[in-house]
Amino acid sequence: MKKLVRYSNIEYFMPFLFCNDIFIPILHKLLENENPIKYVYGSPYCKWGVGARPAIFKFNNLTLIENYLNKLTNKYNVIPTFTFTNLNTKENLNDEYSNNLLDIAYKCNSRFLVSTDDLYNHIKSRYPNAKLHCSILQPMTKYTEEKGFDETRFYNEMLDKYEVVVIRPEYVIENTDKLDKLLNDISRVEVLINQTCHFNCSNHRAHYDFLAQIDECDGDIEKRRKVKYWTDTECGHEHFSLCPKYKEGYRNVHLTGEQVQKVIDLGVKKLKIQGRSLLFDMLYDELYDNFFNNKYSKEEIRNKIDKISAEMLETNRRIALLIC
How many other C-beta atoms are found inside a 10 Å radius of the C-beta of residue 197? 20
Question: What is the rounded CA–CA span in Å between residue 87 and residue 80?
Answer: 21
The answer to the question of residue 212 being in a domain is no
Which element (helix H / strand E) includes 254? strand 253-254
Question: What is the rounded CA–CA span in Å between residue 164 and residue 190?
Answer: 7
How many other C-beta atoms are found inside a 10 Å radius of the C-beta of residue 210? 21
Q: What band does 234 get if pLDDT is binned at 50, 70 and 90?
A: very low
The answer to the question of residue 293 being in a domain is yes
Q: In sequence order, what are the beta bridge partners of 271?
A: 12, 191
Q: What band does 33 get if pLDDT is binned at 50, 70 and 90?
A: confident
Output the domain CATH number for residue 52. Answer: 3.20.20
Show the DSSP H helices in the chain as ranges.
23-31, 62-74, 96-107, 117-126, 137-145, 151-159, 169-174, 179-182, 204-216, 221-224, 244-247, 257-266, 280-290, 298-316
**Rg of the chain, C-alpha, whole Å:** 19
Signed CA dihedral, 236, 241, 247, 250: sign only: negative
Q: How many domains does the chain have?
A: 1
Global confidence as pTM: 0.87
If you average pLDDT over each of 145-149, 217-221, 247-251, which comes out highest? Answer: 145-149
DSSP 3-state of 272: strand
DSSP 3-state of 318: coil
User: 77-81, 119-123, 142-146, 277-281: which range is least confident on average?
Assistant: 277-281
The answer to the question of residue 301 being in a domain is yes
What pLDDT does 324 receive? 47
Task: Give the pLDDT mean for 220-230.
Answer: 63
What pLDDT does 277 receive? 73
Task: Let me know: does 67 contact 91? Beta carbons within 8 Å.
Answer: no
User: 94-108, 225-239, 292-306: which range is least confident on average?
Assistant: 225-239
Crossing angle for the helix pair 137-145 and 151-159, nearest 10 degrees? 150
How does DSSP classify residue 35? -
Which carries the bigger pLDDT value, residue 231 or residue 44?
Answer: 44
pLDDT tens for each residue of 177-216: 999 999 999 999 999 999 877 778 777 777 777 666 666 6
Domain holding 18, by residue range, is 11-196+251-323
The answer to the question of residue 229 being in a domain is no
The answer to the question of residue 273 being in a domain is yes
The answer to the question of residue 176 being in a domain is yes
The answer to the question of residue 216 being in a domain is no
The answer to the question of residue 206 being in a domain is no
Task: Give the pLDDT mean for 52-71.
Answer: 77
What pLDDT does 214 receive? 64
Specify the pairing of strand 189-192 against strand 270-272: parallel
Task: Give the pLDDT mean for 149-176.
Answer: 96
User: 103-107, 264-268, 282-286: which range is least confident on average?
Assistant: 282-286
